[in-house]
Amino acid sequence: MILPENLPPVIRHWIGGELTDAADGRTFDVTDPVSNAPYAQAARGAAADVDRAVAAARVAFPEWSRLSNRARATTLYRIADAVEARHDRLAAFESFDSGLSITQARGQARRAAENFRYFADVIVALGEEAYRQGEAQFSYVVRQPVGVAGLITPWNTPFMLESWKLAPALAAGCTLVLKPAEWTPLSASLWQEIFDEAGVPAGVVNIVHGIGEEAGQALVDHPDVPLISFTGSTDTGRHIIRSSAQHLKTTSMELGGKSPVVVFADADLEAALDSVVFGVFSLNGERCTAGSRVLVERPLYEEFTRRLAERAANVRVGLPSDPATEVGALVHPEHYARVLDYVEIGKKEARLVAGGTRPAHLAEGNYLQPTVFADVERDARIFQEEIFGPVVVLAPFDDEDEAIELANATQYGLAAYIWTGDLKRGHRLAHAVESGMVWLNSHNIRDLRTPFGGVKASGVGREGGARSIDFYTESKIVHVAL
């Protein structure tokens, strides 16, 4: 296996501008998903470390929050440049640590940089509201950053998802403490040099590594952190909302999904197939918006199933560092075991038409041949539960009503994809499906101005565009007699 250059032997916290060990000196093993052996140690944060980080963020808050929007935006542009300057190193780190194919990891720096540039533009363009009641009263809104934001992020495309929170929080004038996911802390070690190079003052951004139940929980429980932005699993999200109630914190929850792809017989078959293959097998299927339940109108069902199985069999599974690889290694042996459990459950619940095993040429590492199950009943566990790997389930439907019923038959509601040649029907479906986001004859193209988030068990709240700034600020109204 090839190790990326400049791997840090120890991944430290970054608190008040200093790289530091945990207060009690504890560390945890960081492994890669090919050898599953430790390649580094990371500081194992606990309440004392979170206390220090929150204190540093509080000290930095007055100066950072009082800067003009333009001044903060200028810094955000410098951050974006510093991110892009590390394009190759970030891709190598991300691929090595999370198992993402290097080709797909290469897009991450550009997307992360775009988050900083975009929120810089938003904060400069955003005005504040004013109201006038005849000649009697004038009222205006003051938008104020909430203070120290707590950011908690998952292990899938970790750096990019961290940037999705860091950028609006900083643009809004918050200082913050970030707790990256413990399975993939490596790319977060780049933030220190990025923020230093961009001239972000010490203490504005603080990073505490560690286990969710320890460092993450301490951040959620901290009385001086009024806001938690969380992306992760639905169960953890529920737990964080319960814990946050103690201090009545503002929370944003971007949670799990089991998103349907509805394919009508009049759809552009090639485009729909391409979209399904991309949607559930790219990023190793470890994608919150993966189209993991494919519902196909009966006249097309057998052909679609056969062709999807063929396409799945041709997906190249291999070493994450190989540019030819399309599906790399799943992030961690625990997650791999969970995905394999679902595959075994699926073999009992449905008809396996592709994959279902480790590829023969890969003896070690967390690899799974892209897997397709057909004839999956709606109460099957593989239909209902998020697998978060390269596994897709197929079921037929007979008419529009049944398509809607099946699409809505899980607890989740993050994304939905609809493929049809009849645009009126497409819009009807788009309105009826229970999800925060719908792509109609299109897939996964994001526009940062649009609301991002889910309904039902997929989340609470929307981020994206000015909504993100709303989340990281409080609106205060000032009434003035005229």
Burial of 195 (0-12, 13-18, 19+ CB in 10 A): buried
Candidate segments 76-84, 105-113, 178-186, 417-425, binder of ligand NAD by CB under 6 A: 178-186
> Closest CB to ligand NAD among 257 and 370?
257
- Counting Cβ atoms within 10 Å, is residue 68 exposed (0-12), middle (13-18) or buried (19+)? exposed
Q: How far is CA 333 from CA 1, 20, 253, in A?
A: 18, 29, 26
Closest separation between CB of residue 315 and ligand NAD, Å? 21
CA distances from 250 to 39, 40, 183, 223, 385 (A): 37, 35, 26, 12, 28
Locate 109 and state its tokens: 């720096």
Of 322, 262, 255, 266, the closest CA to residue 289 belongs to: 255
Nearer CB in complex with ligand NAD: 228/300: 228
Handedness of CA 270, 376, 358, 184 (dihedral sign): positive
| 182 sits near ligand NAD (criterion: CB under 6 A) | yes
Size of the site for ligand NAD (CB under 6 A): 30
- Contact flags string 119-158 toward ligand NAD, x per CB under 6 A: ---------------------------------xxxxx--
Site for ligand NAD in 407-466 (CB under 6 A): 414, 454, 459
Is the CB of residue 322 less than 8 Å from the CB of residue 102? yes
Q: What is the nearest approach in angstroms of ligand NAD to the Cβ of residue 216?
A: 2
Query: Is there a catalytic annotation at residue 254?
Result: yes
Least gap, CB of 482 to ligand NAD (angstroms): 45
- Residue whose CB is less far from ligand NAD, 68 or 246: 246
291 binds ligand NAD (CB under 6 A): no
Considering only residues 240 to 259 of the shown chain, the ones binding ligand NAD according to CB under 6 A are 240, 254-257
Which among 216, 116, 219 has a CA at the least distance from the CA of 164?
116
d(CA 387, CA 390): 8
386 binds ligand NAD (CB under 6 A): yes
| Contact window for ligand NAD (CB under 6 A) among 128-136, 209-217, 298-306, 470-478 | 209-217
Sorted by sequence, the CB contacts under 8 Å of residue 56 that are 6+ apart come out as: 15, 16, 17, 202, 203, 206
Query: CB-wise, 236 or 369, nearer to ligand NAD?
Result: 236
Residue type, 205: V
Nearer to ligand NAD, 374 or 457 (CB): 457
Q: Which of 254, 286, 349, 463 is catalytic?
A: 254
Q: CA angle 227-140-226, nearest 5°?
A: 10
| Nearer of residues 161 and 309 to ligand NAD, judged by Cβ | 161
Which positions touch ligand NAD (CB under 6 A)?
A: 152-156, 161, 179, 181-182, 212-213, 216-217, 220, 231-233, 236, 239-240, 254-257, 288, 386, 388, 414, 454, 459
Residues with catalytic function: 254
